[in-house]
C-alpha cells in the first residue's frame, strides 16, 4: 500500500531524505492535506479517459491524486532539484510523465500531440506558483490549448479578481480576459495552514470551463483587449477619460471616442468597472469603426 505524499510527516520525510530546501523565488508551497487535494481533483471531474496537465508538481502530492483518476498525467516542473524526488514518488504511477521545462516557454500544443494521442478529454489541474499565475493562465487561453477547462489553486485575491462580476472593486481587465474565454467560478477557499511552508496569504481553487465560443464576438480581438486595458488605466477616472488618455492616438481622436461611446449606448461618465463584457465588445467594435 502506497502511503499518501500529502501528510505532514511523509512530506517532511521526503524533503529530509533528499536534503531539499524551498526556493522562495519559485513560490514553492507544498500541500500537506490529502482531503483538500482530493476535493481539488473532484472539481476537475476526471474520468479514466481523461488526460491531465499539471504545472509545478513539487514532490508530487497533487500529481498522485490526479494519477489515481486520470488516464495519463503530464507535469511541467521547472526546478531540476525536484526531478529525482518525483522519479521516486511517481514510481507507482507509470502513466505520469514529468517534463523538466518552464511551461511559459514550452510548446504546449506539441507536448499535447505527442503525449495525449487518442485522448480527447484534457484538463489542467494545478497548484500554480503564485508569482506567475496570470501569465500561465493567459498563455494557455490565448494559445487556445485544447482543454475542457482548468482547476487551479492560486492566491485568493487573484481568484477573486478572475471570478469578479461588473460593478465590484475586484472586476478588471483580468476578469474580462479570463471570462472572455471561460466560465469562471471559485469553488473552494484553502487556508494557509495546510501548506509547508505556510504562505502569507490564503488561497482559493478556481474552476475555468472553456466556452465553445468567446463570451462576445468582436471584429478584432487584439483591439478589444486594448480597449479593455485602456478602460481600467486609472480606475477612478471615467471611461471617456481613460480611453482618451490610454488608447493610442486617443487624445487626437477624442471626438471619435465620444461618438463610439454614444453609438454603443455607454454613458461617457461611467467607469470601466461597470461595463459588462458584452458592452466592452460593442464599444470596441464601434471604436474600431470610428477611429479608422
- Interval 30-87: pLDDT, tens: 888 999 999 999 999 999 999 999 999 999 999 999 999 999 999 999 999 999 999 9
Could you tell me what percent of the chain has a pLDDT over 70? 98
**Is the Cβ–Cβ distance between 209 and 182 less than 8 Å?**
yes
- Does residue 3 carry a pLDDT above 90? no
**Is the Cβ–Cβ distance between 224 and 281 less than 8 Å?**
yes
Residue-averaged pLDDT of the chain: 94
* Domains of the chain in sequence order: 8-210 (3.40.50.150), 221-291 (1.10.8.100)
Q: Helices 133-142 and 173-181: crossing angle, nearest 10°?
A: 40
- Does residue 20 carry a pLDDT above 90? no
Q: Does 246 belong to an annotated binding site?
A: no
- Does residue 292 carry a pLDDT above 80? no
Q: What sign has the CA pseudo-torsion 140, 141, 146, 149?
A: positive
- Of 10-14, 109-113, 229-233, least confident by mean pLDDT is 10-14
**Percentages of the chain per state (helix, strand, coil), in multiples of 5:** 45, 20, 35
**Phi, psi at residue 97, to the nearest 5°?**
-120, 120
- Does residue 169 carry a pLDDT above 80? yes
- Of 23-27, 88-92, 223-227, least confident by mean pLDDT is 23-27
For 138-181, list the strands marked E by DSSP: 149-155
Q: What is the pLDDT of residue 257?
A: 96
- Does residue 2 carry a pLDDT above 70? no
Q: Does 77 belong to an annotated binding site?
A: yes
- Does residue 27 carry a pLDDT above 90? no
| 70 contact partners, CB below 8 Å, separation of at least 6 | 46, 48, 50, 51, 52, 95, 123
- Does residue 171 carry a pLDDT above 90? yes
Mean pLDDT of 123-142: 93
Confidence category of residue 200, pLDDT binned at 50, 70, 90 = confident
Confidence category of residue 1, pLDDT binned at 50, 70, 90 = low
CA dist 125 → 24, 40, 147, 180, 203 (Å): 22, 8, 11, 20, 15
Q: Does 29 belong to an annotated binding site?
A: yes
Confidence category of residue 265, pLDDT binned at 50, 70, 90 = very high
What is the per-residue pLDDT across 92-113, written as a single tens digit (0 to 9) for each? 999 999 999 999 999 999 999 9
Q: How far is CA 84 from the centre of its chain?
A: 27
Q: Does 31 belong to an annotated binding site?
A: yes
- Does residue 208 carry a pLDDT above 80? yes
Q: What is the pLDDT of residue 26?
A: 65
Q: Does 245 belong to an annotated binding site?
A: no
Amino acid at each position: 500500500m502506497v502511503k499518501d505524499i500529502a501528510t505532514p510527516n511523509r512530506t517532511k520525510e521526503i524533503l529530509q531524505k533528499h536534503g531539499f530546501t524551498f526556493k522562495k523565488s519559485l513560490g514553492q508551497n507544498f500541500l500537506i492535506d490529502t482531503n483538500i487535494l482530493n476535493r481539488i481533483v473532484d472539481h476537475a471531474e476526471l474520468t479514466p479517459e481523461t488526460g491531465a496537465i499539471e504545472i509545478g508538481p513539487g514532490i508530487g502530492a497533487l500529481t498522485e491524486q490526479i494519477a489515481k483518476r486520470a488516464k495519463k498525467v503530464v507535469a511541467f516542473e521547472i526546478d531540476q532539484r525536484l526531478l529525482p524526488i518525483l522519479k521516486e514518488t511517481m514510481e507507482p504511477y507509470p502513466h505520469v510523465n514529468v517534463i523538466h521545462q518552464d511551461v511559459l516557454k514550452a510548446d504546449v500544443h506539441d507536448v499535447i500531440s505527442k503525449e495525449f494521442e487518442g485522448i480527447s478529454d484534457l484538463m489542467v489541474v494545478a497548484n500554480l506558483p503564485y508569482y506567475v499565475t496570470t501569465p500561465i493562465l493567459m498563455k494557455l487561453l490565448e494559445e487556445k490549448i485544447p482543454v475542457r477547462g482548468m482547476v487551479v489553486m492560486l492566491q485568493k485575491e487573484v481568484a477573486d479578481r478572475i471570478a469578479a462580476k461588473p460593478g465590484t472593486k475586484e472586476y478588471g481587465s483580468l476578469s474580462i480576459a479570463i471570462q472572455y474565454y471561460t466560465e469562471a467560478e471559485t469553488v473552494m477557499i484553502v487556508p494557509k495552514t495546510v501548506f509547508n511552508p505556510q504562505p502569507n496569504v490564503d488561497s482559493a481553487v478556481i474552476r475555468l470551463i472553456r466556452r465553445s465560443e468567446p463570451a462576445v464576438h468582436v471584429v478584432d480581438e487584439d483591439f478589444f483587449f486594448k480597449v479593455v486595458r485602456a478602460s481600467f488605466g486609472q480606475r477612478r477616472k471615467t471611461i471617456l477619460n481613460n480611453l482618451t488618455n490610454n488608447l493610442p492616438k486617443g487624445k487626437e481622436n477624442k471626438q471619435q471616442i465620444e461618438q463610439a461611446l454614444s453609438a454603443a449606448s455607454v454613458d461617457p461618465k461611467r467607469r470601466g468597472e461597470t461595463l459588462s463584457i458584452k458592452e466592452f465588445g460593442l464599444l470596441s467594435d464601434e471604436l474600431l469603426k470610428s477611429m479608422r
